Amino acid sequence: MKEQLVNKFKEVFGEQETVIDSGDIQTFFAPGRVNLIGEHTDYNGGHVFPCALTIGTYAVIKKNPDKLLRFYSMNFQQIGVISSTIENLQYDKGDDWANYPKAVIWALEQKGYKIQQGMDILYYGNIPNQSGLSSSASIEVLTGYIVKELFHFNFDMVELAKICQYAENQFIGVNCGIMDQFAIAMGKKGYAIFLDTTNLTYEYAPLKLKGMKIVIANTNKKRGLGDSKYNERRKECETALLDLQSVANIQSLGELNEEEFEAYKSTIKDPICRKRAKHAVYENQRTIQAVEALKNNDIYLFGQLMNASHISLRDDYEVTGYELDTLVEAAWKQKGVFGSRMTGAGFGGCTVSVVDENLVERFIDEVGKEYEKKVGYKADFYVVDVGKGPERI
């Protein structure tokens, strides 16, 4: 893999004289992530439970002598090389995917990390694009990690996650929470991350799924977060919080438990905002219960909480849609499925299921057939392993 990527880099950027191990060209990797439970809670002051994956984004990089930034993706070869300069980093719709690495370099400059040289970077991702497995956050964290390593900047991986979130909020214009960047930057093999998004306290929880596999199904429905109703949902939650603050001394929806929410919910004037807030509160509590269930080796309860999460995302948060619901409902019918739910922002993207390892092939076959029959096109399936954070390779 490394040799193929380096050869492609030389072909694109004309580095024929450089050998792989000379130190001039360097190769890096950052994972994608899947969130097992805790959806749309990260910007509501709640808990999330993601893990890094072994699929992700690779990059080959070489510094250049001027301040020119040149980006190339093997996933979007038809776009070609996208160029910019460090001094003139601005969002440009025409730059497509390259706005993400541009955003991170811009954010690093904004935070006082001065980059004195330009870079040629080739990217290759084996995360399905627009699938909800955080291909964009993977590129962001990977770019930040590369720059940190190449220019010897002194910040830790939590700070890297914050910088990447800032980049997406301020440069891309998607008001995302911290989960995706944190899960990718802080990934640990064999563990999921139980993260409190209010203060970024976290613990690594071992994923003890003996005899089971995590199966991700991609709807193949395209959607872009910036164009979706993601920011609208966030605003609805903020409106609900303002109403609740008239009767409760809270800074976020995640501070309430179910009983407190039921006692105060009538103060939320808009019934739509009330539904959104209910999801945020109940989903946070489900996430806390799910991690406890895993600690107690109660995979049955963990699966039931996954299912309840999807129902809430469908009915109260309304971010699933026909494709995701079709996949999940087909999964629920299958023998050996402990739990299944949408994962990611919604409006398309992926589901995540915990499946008996002996029944995975049957699961993929049966769910795939039902999905194609109802939706009219195929879903893609990935049996994934839990990976680690970014690294030089």
> pLDDT over 70 for what percent of the chain?
95
Average pLDDT over residues 147-153: 96
Please provide the average confidence, as pLDDT, over all residues in the chain: 93
Q: Which residue has the higher pLDDT, 79 or 65?
A: 79
Q: Report pLDDT digits (tens) over 194-221.
A: 999 999 999 999 988 889 999 999 999 8
pLDDT, residue 128, reads 74
Closest CA to 312 of 291, 351, 283, 288: 283
Is residue 41 a contact partner of residue 197, using CB atoms and an 8 Å limit? yes
Q: Report pLDDT digits (tens) over 113-130.
A: 999 899 999 999 998 766
Amino acid at 318: E
pLDDT, residue 175, reads 82
Average pLDDT over residues 334-338: 97
pLDDT, residue 226, reads 45
Catalytic residue among 180, 196, 243, 316: 180
pLDDT, residue 78, reads 96
* DSSP-assigned letters across all residues of 74-112: GGGGGG--EEEEGGG----GGGGGGHHHHHHHHHHHHTT
Residue 14: pLDDT band with limits 50, 70, 90 = confident
Reading the block at residue 133, the tokens are 């497995």
Is residue 150 a contact partner of residue 63, using CB atoms and an 8 Å limit? yes
pLDDT, residue 348, reads 87
The yes-or-no verdict on residue 358 having pLDDT over 70 is yes
pLDDT, residue 322, reads 95
d(CA 286, CA 303): 11
Lowest average pLDDT, out of 13-22, 213-222, 285-294, 305-314, goes to 13-22
What is the number of other CB atoms lying within 10 angstroms of the CB of residue 386? Answer: 21
Average pLDDT over residues 263-274: 98
Using DSSP bridges, classify how beta strands 212-218 and 350-356 pair: parallel, antiparallel or unpaired.
Answer: antiparallel
pLDDT, residue 308, reads 98
Residue 21: pLDDT band with limits 50, 70, 90 = very low
d(CA 57, CA 140): 10
d(CA 68, CA 53): 32
pLDDT, residue 335, reads 97
HSE-up of 197 (CA within 13 Å, CB side)? 32
Residue 24: pLDDT band with limits 50, 70, 90 = confident
pLDDT, residue 132, reads 67
Residue 345: pLDDT band with limits 50, 70, 90 = confident
The yes-or-no verdict on residue 16 having pLDDT over 60 is no
Residue 43: pLDDT band with limits 50, 70, 90 = very high
Report all structural domains of the chain as residue ranges with CATH numbers, in order of start: 2-206 (3.30.230.10)
| Largest separation between any pair of C-alpha atoms in the chain | 70
**315 among known catalytic residues:** no
The yes-or-no verdict on residue 17 having pLDDT over 60 is no
